[in-house]
Structure formats: C-alpha cells, structure tokens
Amino acid sequence: MKKITLLLIVLTVQTIFAQQPYYNDVNLTLTGQDLYLELQSKIAITNTIFNYGDVRDTMRITDENPSNSFDVLLIYGYDDTGSCTNDRSRNKDDFGGSNCEYNREHTFAKSNADPEMGNVSNSTTGIGADPHNLRPSDQQMNGNRGNRKFASGSGNAGNVGSNWYPGDEWKGDVARIMMYMYTRYGNRCLPSLNGSGATQGSTDMLQVYLEWNAEDPVSELEDQRNPYLENEYGNRNPFIDNPYLATIIWGGAPAEDRWNLFSIEDATFTNLTVSPNPATDIIWIQNSTIINDGTIVIYDLLGREIIQESFNSSKKSINTSTLTQGLYLVKVTSENKQVIKKIIIY
C-alpha cells in the first residue's frame, strides 16, 4: 500500500509539471464524461470585449506562417503555385472579400451551430466571434466549403459528395476545433451538426474526428495559437495542448499524449505493451521476452487492489469487464523488476 501511495504522489507531481500551468487546477485523473465536464468548466469564459472585428488583427498573429512572418497560413489551402483559390499562404495585408484575398472562416459553420452564431457582424461577441473557431481562408475556398459538413476523405481539400474534406494537412486542426467547440458550447455545437459519419460508442463525438486527431499531430501553427489566445481571449483549446485528452474522454484511436500521462515506469521490460488502451472488456499484456513467475496487479487510483493474476508467458489477457469506467494502474512484476502502466476503462 505504501508503494502505491508513493506512486500516486509521483503520478500527481508528474502530471502537474507535465502540462501547461493553465491546467494545474484540472483533475486529470478523471475520464469520459467527467473529464469532459471538467474541461468544459475550465474553458468556459464570458468575454464581452473580444469581438468578431478583433479577429482580423488576431489572425495576423495566431495564424502567422512559421516560415514567413509576412504571411498567414490559409486553412484548406495546399498549393501556392497555381490558382490563388488553393493558396496555402497569403500576405497578411491581403484581407478582404475580393479575388485572391482571405477572410474569416467559421470552421464550425455558422448555419450548422446555435442560431446565435448565424448573424455575425464586427461587433459580435461570444460564440460567433470565438477565435478558436475562426481561421483565415481564401475567400473563394471559404465559399466553396460554405456550410458543407466535414467527412472522411484523402488528399487535398474539396468536396466529398455533398460534404467537405478539409485536406490531409488540416484534418487534425479541424478535429481539435470541433472538439473544442463541443466542449465549450455543448449541444449548441454537437459534432454531428457539422460533420458526418458514425459516432464513437455512446458519445456524441464523431469517429472521423477521433481518427483525424490521431492521424494528424499538432502542428507548429496550432501551438502558437493557444498562448496568444489565452492572454487575448481568456482560454485555450485543450485538445491542441494534448490531443490524448480526446482519447481519455471519447476513446477511439489513441492520439498523441503530449503530457506523457501514460508513461510512468519504475523499470522497463523489453517492449511491454498494454492494449487496447482505452479498453472495455479485456486488455492484453504482451512482452517480447518471456516473463517467468510474474504477477499482474491492477489498482484503482485510491491504491486499492482490484485484480491480481500470474503472468508466465509473453502474452496474457485480463478480463476487465467488471471494472467501472475510469483510470487504473497496472503493475507487472517479475524477477525483482516492475513496470507500471496507466489504462483507461470506458
């Protein structure tokens, strides 16, 4: 018990120092809907000062091309050598509604969300002016997308039947914006209102967004947005800071864990894996070398032993169907060595 208590202290300290200070008061041991609500409470702000007109200037900073400070990068864009409609970058001063100019794209389309977002002017505040949802886009590309729902595809941005694929470079950005909007505004921005396809399990998150979040890691462009918007607007997009938060909440394909929430180890066996993670009814513990006379113990976060079994082969299945949804610690011990992994049951 003392060892587990010590482990939990280490776990807490590691978590605190692994992520941005903005999240120091967020309980990251929560999972599923509980973590969703915790993050919703964290990013909920009432900003009646920042308006839609301000975004024009904000985008010059948040969406500055990391390779050229004179340009902004244009969402959905992919080619600077052909038609300007497809431009990936554009001079910051070329803002407007004419040919080869850029404007403000509501990634979660205005007409697909809460009616409050529908009529937007430069003085609009709140959901219609949320800068986490607004990205620069070529004005014609913006028009081509219109209010088409996002859907699975590949290659460059464009129509997929009656829907819209944002492009290989931008699909992760879009997914993390959708996750932010759903977390920030709840049912006013249901993912299915702005995207198509199956949902994940019993949640309202689209599988395609979870896939995009895992397949397209956070870019340098995304990373430069949060610090500025925290100061200018008042909150951050948590799914940019750590895409794995989406995995903890909604499951699906494991995304990048930028805070190393799942990497606590006392000693390492060669290529020890615990999968799937998150899991439901069963987990597999596998190692490339045979562990003789080993034990596997699963603890909850209060340090209580939930399951103990022997482990005497390179692959072992554990029935987890009786565990309630949440975060658990799996300790594998053999030959005076041990490794501790974290798993999510959902």
Beta strands in the chain (DSSP E): 64-65, 68-73, 89-91, 102-106, 134-138, 158-160, 163-165, 273-275, 282-286, 294-300, 305-311, 315-319, 326-334, 337-345
Q: The domain spanning residue 324 has which CATH number?
A: 2.60.40.3080
Give the pairing type, strands 326-334 and 305-311. unpaired
Domain boundary among 250, 280, 309: 250
Residues paired with residue 332 on neighbouring β-strands, in sequence order: 296, 339
Q: What is the DSSP letter of 279?
A: B
Between 156 and 114, residue with greater pLDDT: 156
- Spatial CA neighbour of 285 closest among 319, 260, 259, 262: 319
Per-residue confidence at 1, pLDDT binned at 50, 70, 90? Answer: very low
271 and 202 in one domain? no
219 and 116 in one domain? yes
CA–CA gap between residue 274 and residue 344 (Å, rounded): 11
- What length does the chain have? 346
Per-residue confidence at 95, pLDDT binned at 50, 70, 90? Answer: very high
Distance from the Cα of residue 27 to its chain's centroid: 17
Computed over every residue of the chain, the mean pLDDT equals 88
| Residue 217 three-state SS | coil
Token pair for residue 52? 């839609």
61 and 10 in one domain? no
105 and 15 in one domain? no
pLDDT score recorded for residue 2? 41
What domain range includes position 190?
20-250
**Alpha-carbon torsion angle 153, 154, 159, 162, nearest 10:** -10
274 and 241 in one domain? no
Residues paired with residue 300 on neighbouring β-strands, in sequence order: 328
For the segment 178-193, the average pLDDT, to the nearest whole number, is 96
pLDDT score recorded for residue 14? 43
Give the residue carrying structure tokens 């020890």: 272
pLDDT score recorded for residue 325? 87
Domain boundary among 229, 250, 271: 250
How many angstroms separate the first and last alpha carbons of the chain?
25
pLDDT score recorded for residue 84? 97
159 and 114 in one domain? yes
Least confident of 8-12, 223-227, 298-302: 8-12
CA–CA gap between residue 203 and residue 78 (Å, rounded): 33
Least confident of 104-108, 130-134, 188-192, 334-338: 334-338
52 and 164 in one domain? yes
Q: What sign for the dihedral angle of Cα 155, 103, 186, 16?
A: positive
Tell me the pLDDT tens digit for each residue of 194-219.
999 999 877 899 999 999 999 999 99
270 and 214 in one domain? no
- Is the peptide bond preceding residue 276 cis, with omega within 30 degrees of 0? yes
26 and 13 in one domain? no
Between 187 and 16, residue with greater pLDDT: 187
Q: How far is CA 218 from CA 67, 79, 157, 173, 340, in A?
A: 16, 21, 18, 7, 27
Per-residue confidence at 13, pLDDT binned at 50, 70, 90? Answer: very low
Tell me the pLDDT tens digit for each residue of 259-317.
987 655 445 566 678 888 888 899 988 876 655 667 888 988 667 889 998 877 667 88
Least confident of 149-153, 241-245, 280-284: 280-284
pLDDT score recorded for residue 289? 61
Between 272 and 221, residue with greater pLDDT: 221
Name, in order, each residue with C-beta under 8 angstroms of 161's C-beta and a sequence gap of 6 or more: 151
Share of the chain above pLDDT 90, in %: 64
213 and 112 in one domain? yes
Least confident of 130-134, 136-140, 282-286: 282-286
pLDDT score recorded for residue 310? 84
286 and 268 in one domain? yes
The total of structural domains in the chain comes to 2
Residue 124 CB coordination number (10 Å): 16
pLDDT score recorded for residue 312? 72
Q: What sign for the dihedral angle of Cα 243, 248, 253, 254?
A: positive
Share of the chain above pLDDT 70, in %: 88
217 and 263 in one domain? no
pLDDT score recorded for residue 196? 97
Domain boundary among 194, 224, 250: 250
